[in-house]
């Protein structure tokens, strides 16, 4: 090999190595970005699970209230159907 060929081979090897280093830096930066994105998505998923848990509890509470209202409505309907007077007006017959 001539000195020029050796120099070109060395330049090629150094250039290839530099290109590999740049690609590796980009890959590491992309990997760090993906890790940040994954962490953000995990925080969002955790927040959504907490919101869902709160919403389920709220829904259970509302169902309990609806059940109470339905029971009161049933009792009032039975009283009306039985023609009973209201407890706060005992002299309603007069």
CA distance 15 to 9: 10
Query: For residue 87, what is the DSSP state?
Result: T
Q: Write the DSSP assignment of 28-72 as a string of letters.
A: HHHHHHHHHHHHHHHHHHHHHHHHHHHHHHHHHHHHHHHHHHHHH
**Residue 94 pLDDT class (50, 70, 90 cuts):** very low
Q: With pLDDT > 70 as the criterion, what percentage of the chain qualifies?
A: 87
Which residues have CB under 8 Å from 9's CB, separation 6+? 1
Q: With pLDDT > 90 as the criterion, what percentage of the chain qualifies?
A: 43
């Amino acid at each position: 090999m001539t000195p020029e060929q050796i120099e070109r081979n060395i330049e090629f090897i150094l250039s290839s190595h530099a290109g590999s280093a740049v690609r590796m830096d980009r890959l590491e930066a992309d990997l760090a970005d993906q890790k940040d994105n994954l962490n953000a998505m995990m925080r969002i998923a955790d927040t959504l699970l907490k919101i869902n848990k709160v919403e389920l509890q709220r829904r259970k509470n509302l169902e309990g209230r609806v059940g109470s209202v339905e029971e009161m409505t049933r009792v009032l309907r039975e009283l009306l159907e039985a023609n009973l007077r209201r407890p706060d007006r005992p002299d309603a017959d007069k």
